[in-house]
């Protein structure tokens, strides 16, 4: 609420978006039924803008909407041609910086990177693939780590530290050499206390942390993002404010 007792709101691509004190632009947008592409944002963790896919434009400057605090009267763009191209480029960079082979990936149809790419009409990367050498860690009896798919969102790092209290994962290196590691002297997942019930097991937006023995249990074609685009699912899943029937959603 504003000082005058009115509901605070901002403009998003011409639509009025109400917000509660402390909400970020992406939180308010999703709650009001508006989709902004995103990957590293998770409603249970403090956002830190690592992937930048949720970039919007405010007063001529670009900023991650997951870290931008909503302010009354601000005007935000998320769907301009320039921003769409930027979103596409950022997602393409994530594909070429790893080794993503969607047709053979057991997360196909459940992968947020793949789903965001489809939503942005990305059918192939226009950049040169780096093909990094990232060995798989199959040392744990119940869990497989497929490092080739990591997009450095840090969700597993934060979930393991903040929820599970185990600090199983970390990021190492800088720039293009930055990569996910296992916090064990051996570097092997088998030498940690991770459990299949840990929060870190469920937050990966791609296919890095996998349960062994359950792959392809749900057939491709019947999976989460096979049934409905990620933009529609994100709007459905977001918590809703009470509505008066006059709100506009896109």
- Given a contact cutoff of 8 angstroms between Cβ atoms, the answer to whether 201 and 209 are in contact is yes
Please report, for the domain that includes residue 123, its CATH number: 3.30.70.20
Model confidence at 245, pLDDT cuts 50, 70, 90, reads very low
> Rounded mean pLDDT of the chain?
92
Which residue among 79, 114, 133 closes a domain? 79
Q: Is residue 207 part of a domain?
A: yes
Number of domains within the chain: 2
- Are 14 and 56 in a shared domain? yes
Q: Is residue 213 part of a domain?
A: yes
- Are 135 and 212 in a shared domain? yes
Can you tell me the mean pLDDT for 158-162?
97
pLDDT at position 242 over 50? no
pLDDT at position 47 over 90? no
- Given a contact cutoff of 8 angstroms between Cβ atoms, the answer to whether 94 and 152 are in contact is no
Q: Is residue 222 part of a domain?
A: no
Please report, for the domain that includes residue 57, its CATH number: 3.10.20.740
- Are 44 and 109 in a shared domain? no
CA 59 – CA 73 distance, rounded (Å): 12
- Are 160 and 195 in a shared domain? yes
Write down the pTM of the prediction.
Answer: 0.90
- Are 55 and 134 in a shared domain? no
Model confidence at 33, pLDDT cuts 50, 70, 90, reads very high
Q: Is residue 226 part of a domain?
A: no
Taking CA atoms, 170 is separated from 46, 89, 153, 194, in Å, by: 17, 26, 11, 13
- Are 212 and 113 in a shared domain? yes
CA 57 – CA 75 distance, rounded (Å): 8
User: 10 Å Cβ neighbour count for 143?
Assistant: 21
Note down the domain range covering 151.
104-217
Q: Is residue 19 part of a domain?
A: yes
Give the contacts of 83 (CB within 8 A, at least 6 positions apart).
55, 56, 57, 62, 77
- For the segment 137-149, what is each residue's pLDDT rounded down to a tens digit? 999 999 999 999 9
H or E element at residue 15: strand 15-18
Model confidence at 235, pLDDT cuts 50, 70, 90, reads confident
- Are 13 and 66 in a shared domain? yes
Taking CA atoms, 123 is separated from 18, 110, 114, 117, 119, in Å, by: 35, 17, 10, 7, 10
Can you tell me the mean pLDDT for 56-60?
94
- Are 122 and 208 in a shared domain? yes
- Are 68 and 116 in a shared domain? no
- Are 206 and 110 in a shared domain? yes
- Are 74 and 117 in a shared domain? no
Can you tell me the mean pLDDT for 207-216?
93
Q: Is residue 209 part of a domain?
A: yes
Q: Is residue 210 part of a domain?
A: yes
- Are 61 and 122 in a shared domain? no
Q: Is residue 94 part of a domain?
A: no
């Amino acid at each position: 609420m504003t000082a005058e007792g009115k509901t605070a709101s901002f403009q998003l691509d011409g639509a009025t978006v109400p917000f509660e004190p402390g909400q970020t632009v992406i939180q308010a947008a999703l709650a009001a039924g508006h989709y902004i592409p995103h990957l590293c944002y998770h409603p249970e963790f403090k956002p830190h803008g690592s992937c930048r896919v949720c970039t919007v434009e405010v007063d001529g400057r670009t900023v991650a909407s997951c870290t931008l605090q909503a302010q009354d009267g601000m005007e935000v763009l998320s769907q301009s041609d320039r921003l769409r191209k930027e979103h596409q480029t950022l997602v393409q960079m994530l594909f070429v910086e790893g080794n993503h082979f969607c047709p053979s990936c057991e997360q196909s149809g459940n992968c947020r990177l793949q789903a965001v790419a489809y939503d942005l009409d990305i059918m192939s990367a226009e950049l040169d693939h780096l093909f990094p050498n990232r060995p798989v860690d199959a040392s744990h009896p119940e869990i497989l780590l497929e490092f080739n798919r990591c997009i450095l969102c840090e969700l597993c790092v934060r979930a393991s530290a903040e929820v599970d209290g185990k600090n199983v994962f970390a990021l190492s290196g800088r720039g293009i050499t930055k990569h996910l590691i296992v916090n064990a002297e051996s570097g092997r997942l088998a030498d940690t206390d991770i459990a299949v019930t840990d929060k870190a097991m469920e937050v990966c937006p791609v296919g890095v942390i996998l349960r062994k023995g359950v792959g392809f249990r749900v057939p491709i074609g019947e999976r989460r993002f096979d049934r409905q685009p990620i933009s529609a699912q994100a709007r459905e899943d977001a918590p809703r404010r009470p509505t008066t029937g006059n709100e506009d959603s896109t």
